[in-house]
């Protein structure tokens, strides 16, 4: 957690920009929501023409939808900062107008998800949670911090 799902028309986001968006979302989440990088997942969904609709009509090309599932417990200001920065910075990376970047943040209690085989803690308790992981996994994840 968090999981960021980035959906767009197939071909809009090339591999280089995917890597840039994934790094951007990871960094923004780490900095604003104060969560370790190793918890941030980014999934890209390429959708065929005719698979995206807006107002009951096929959506125009050049739009991106980002759905973020994050642990609950962040402040209203943190969520506002995430929404605003993701919108503007993803638009910059993809060379799109900000009004073509749609961002949604959904909150899920940490107790309602597992990662790395364990229930997730509430925000701020990641270090205690990390200490309960197997040593080999701790070593692997330490490189991702």
pLDDT tens for 25-44 read 999 999 999 999 999 999 99
Half-sphere exposure of 78 (CA within 13 A, CB side): 16
- What's the confidence (pLDDT) of residue 144? 84
Nearest by Cα to 62 from 11, 19, 5, 17: 11
Q: Count the domains in the chain.
A: 1
Q: Does residue 145 have a pLDDT over 80?
A: no
d(CA 52, CA 38): 31
d(CA 38, CA 143): 9
- Note the Cα 71 to chain centre separation in Å: 11
pTM over 0.85: yes
How does pLDDT run across 43-94, given as a tens digit for each residue? 999 999 999 999 999 999 999 999 999 999 999 999 999 999 999 999 999 9
- What's the confidence (pLDDT) of residue 1? 82
The CATH number assigned to the domain holding 84 equals: 3.30.429.10
- Which parts of 62-140 are beta strand (E)? 64-71, 101-108, 114-115, 118-119
What percent of the chain is modeled with pLDDT above 90?
87
Domain of residue 18, residue span: 2-143
């Amino acid at each position: 957690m968090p999981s960021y799902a980035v959906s767009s028309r197939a071909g809009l986001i090339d591999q280089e920009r995917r890597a840039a968006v994934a790094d951007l979302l990871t960094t923004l989440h780490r900095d604003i929501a104060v969560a370790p990088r190793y918890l941030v997942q980014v999934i890209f969904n390429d959708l065929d023409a005719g698979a995206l609709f807006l107002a009951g009509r096929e959506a125009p090309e050049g739009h991106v939808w980002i759905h973020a599932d994050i642990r609950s417990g962040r402040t209203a200001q943190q969520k506002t900062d995430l929404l605003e920065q993701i919108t503007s910075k993803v638009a910059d990376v993809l060379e799109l107008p900000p009004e073509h970047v749609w961002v949604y943040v959904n909150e899920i209690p940490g107790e309602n998800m597992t990662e790395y085989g364990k229930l997730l803690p509430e925000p701020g308790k990641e270090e205690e949670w990390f200490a309960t992981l197997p040593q080999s996994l701790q070593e692997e994840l330490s490189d991702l911090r």
